[in-house]
């Protein structure tokens, strides 16, 4: 029987929500039926965690320069540069689809358009996996919702809220959109394997000290600044409480990370707050926490880390919006 070749197009090479979801999807395909090929960008500065994990499962990974919607393009010169890169990368995908005999194209984020455009031009079925809720700018929300409606055979979203937001942007998406919730690896996130004491020892958290923490990329909408200001209020009444923020800095958010460090100093939280870069042992980190907080200031499309914290049997405090 002829193998069905699926081209997966993704916008990053990290190991956060969308990256993990793609990894879990691809490695669980029946590879006697499907042949997955994953295309990732080659112009990112951070470590290739996703490509490494895919290679460990013998998944073919290719890297190329591709047009990705990023904030740095939100200016007149940036738009011209983006459109040029969109054209070039679309033709690259067209050549690849034809040369490799791709049967289906699956775009894993709304930020990547060239794979969808190439699928449309080569008349291949295209599945668009939408994992974002674009709040601002509204013009971008309307435009991407329209593009998804025009270039998709089917649309998958990760929550009802994501679906409603996408369809509010363009109602033509509604009949072709299905909600498929993200899943987590419950064997990996198993409270029974708790080794959180190792992280607590590493951070100098004493027995009896309450540890409140969050996990997420350092980005303005993830609410790290809000978390720190609440930490100051809590510590004024419960000085024994400690706080932790775990997560790498998103591209373009380096200035925001410096702002967070400045806030820690201004609020005199140096001895109470741990600022940690990305870690691979998130189940252990969550096990170390007594309370998990997700203070996102904009709607979360899904919030994988909330499920992960719940699987680790931690109480969760989160803002009541999003999916």
Per domain, the residue ranges of the chain are 4-179, 191-318
Question: H or E segment at 37?
Answer: strand 34-41
Q: Is the pLDDT assigned to residue 160 strictly greater than 90?
A: yes
In this structure, what token pair is assigned to residue 119? 């699928």
Q: Which residue has the higher pLDDT, 288 or 303?
A: 288
Residue 9 three-state SS:
strand
- 79 Rama class: left (phi>0) / alpha (psi -120 to 50) / beta: alpha
Q: Which residues contact 148 (CB under 8 A, 6 or more apart)?
A: 110, 116, 128, 130, 155, 166, 170, 173
User: pLDDT at position 136, please?
Assistant: 82
Top pLDDT among 99 and 71 is at 99
Neighbours of 128 (CB within 10 A): 30
pLDDT tens for 31-44 read 899 999 999 998 76
pTM for the full predicted model: 0.87
Task: Give domain 4-179's CATH architecture.
Answer: 3-Layer(aba) Sandwich (3.40)
Give the CATH H-level superfamily of domain 191-318.
Glycogen Phosphorylase B; (3.40.50.2000)
Residue 46 clears pLDDT 70, i.e. is over it: no
The percent of residues above 90 in pLDDT, for the chain, comes to 66
pLDDT value at 67 more than 70 = yes
Same fold, 4-179 and 191-318: yes
Q: What is the distance between the alpha carbons of residues 118 and 199, in angstroms, rounded to a whole number?
A: 46
Confidence check: pLDDT of 323 > 80? no
pLDDT band at 101, cuts 50/70/90?
Answer: very high
pLDDT at 297: 87
85-110 mean pLDDT? 95
pLDDT at 22: 94
Decide: helix, strand or coil at residue 173. Answer: helix
- 181-208 burial, b for 16+ CB within 10 Å, e for fewer? ebebeeeebeeeeeebeebbeeeebeee
Q: Look-up: residue for tokens 């004491």?
A: 197
Give yes or no for residue 146 having a pLDDT over 80: yes
pLDDT score recorded for residue 38: 97
Residues β-bridged to residue 284: none
Sign of CA dihedral 257, 85, 122, 169: positive
> Mean pLDDT for the chain?
91
Position 45 pLDDT exceeds 80: no
Q: For residue 44, what pLDDT is reported?
A: 67
Higher pLDDT, 70 or 19: 19
Helix (H) or strand (E) holding 161: helix 160-169
Predicted local distance difference test score (pLDDT) of residue 47? 59
pLDDT at 126: 98
Contact yes or no for 113/89 (Cβ under 8 A):
no
* Predicted local confidence at residue 80, as pLDDT: 87
Question: pLDDT tens, 169-222?
Answer: 999 999 999 999 998 888 889 887 878 999 999 999 998 899 999 998 888 888
What's the Rg (C-alpha) of the chain? 21
């Amino acid at each position: 029987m002829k193998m069905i070749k699926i081209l997966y197009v993704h916008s990053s090479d990290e190991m956060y929500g969308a990256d993990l979801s793609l990894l879990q999807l691809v490695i669980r395909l029946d590879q006697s039926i499907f042949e997955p090929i994953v295309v990732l960008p080659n112009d990112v500065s951070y470590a290739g965690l996703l490509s490494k994990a895919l290679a460990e499962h013998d998944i073919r990974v290719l890297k190329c320069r591709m047009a990705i919607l990023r904030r740095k393009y939100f200016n007149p010169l940036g738009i011209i540069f983006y459109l040029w890169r969109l054209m070039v990368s679309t033709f690259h995908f067209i050549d690849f689809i034809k040369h490799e005999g791709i049967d289906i194209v699956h775009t894993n984020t709304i930020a990547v358009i060239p794979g969808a455009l190439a699928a449309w031009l080569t008349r291949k079925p295209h599945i668009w996996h939408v994992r974002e809720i674009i709040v601002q700018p509204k013009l971008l929300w309307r435009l991407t919702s329209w593009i998804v409606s025009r270039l998709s055979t089917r649309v998958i979203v990760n929550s009802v809220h994501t679906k409603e937001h996408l369809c509010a942007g363009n109602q033509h998406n509604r009949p072709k959109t299905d909600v498929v919730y993200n899943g987590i690896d419950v064997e990996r996130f198993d409270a029974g394997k708790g080794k959180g004491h190792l992280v607590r020892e590493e951070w100098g958290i004493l027995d009896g000290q309450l540890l409140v923490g969050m996990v997420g990329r350092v980005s303005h909408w993830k609410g790290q600044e809000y978390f720190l200001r609440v930490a100051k209020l809590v510590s004024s009444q419960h000085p024994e409480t400690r706080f932790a923020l775990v997560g790498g800095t998103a591209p373009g958010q380096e200035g925001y990370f410096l702002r967070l460090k400045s806030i820690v100093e201004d609020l005199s939280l140096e001895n109470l707050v741990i600022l940690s870069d990305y870690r691979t042992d998130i189940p252990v980190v969550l096990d170390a926490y007594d309370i998990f907080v997700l203070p996102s200031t904009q709607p979360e499309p899904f919030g994988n880390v909330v499920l992960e914290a719940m699987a680790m049997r931690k109480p969760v405090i989160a803002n009541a919006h999003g999916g």
